[in-house]
Amino acid sequence: MSENTQVQLPLDIKGILDLLPHRYPFILVDRILAYEKGQTITGLKNVSMGEPYFQGHFPGEPVMPGVLILEGMAQVASVLAFLSLDAIQGKLVFFAGMDNVRFRKVVYPGDQLILKLVFTKQKRNIIKMSGKAYVEDVLVTEADLIAAFN
């Protein structure tokens, strides 16, 4: 997005799909609730029993896979990058690493994940962000994410 583009919050799924290349069944953010260019972003993911991964994770005890929580955080981080950095426009963003990952609580169908990311560093085509995921104000996952774009 250009410097003069205004972001209308909340940014709905249509706006998110305009920014991210992800599509069903791998879009893991439903709405952007808050955003400060180059600084922070807050996204929302409604966790639904209708999601395909619950068929096998786990039958009789559905639990959202932790790696998908991290992917949701990465998608929200990508939205922040696309809204903040001119150099990233038209490029793909890829996971390059993650550090300090902690899964604190289990996430179930019916939960609403609030994904909060803070921009910490950029060096050339590498971006670092710190993220936390919450359900009802309880920390469920945290990680430092590293992404590369080219």
User: What positions carry a catalytic annotation?
Assistant: 57
Q: For the sheet containing 126-135, what is the strand order?
A: 31-36, 40-46, 112-123, 126-135, 138-149, 93-103
Beta-carbon count within 10 A of 49 CB: 10
Contact 75, 145 (CB under 8 A): no
DSSP character string of 75-127: HHHHHHHHHH-GGGTT--EEEEEEEEEEE-S---TT-EEEEEEEEEEEETTEE
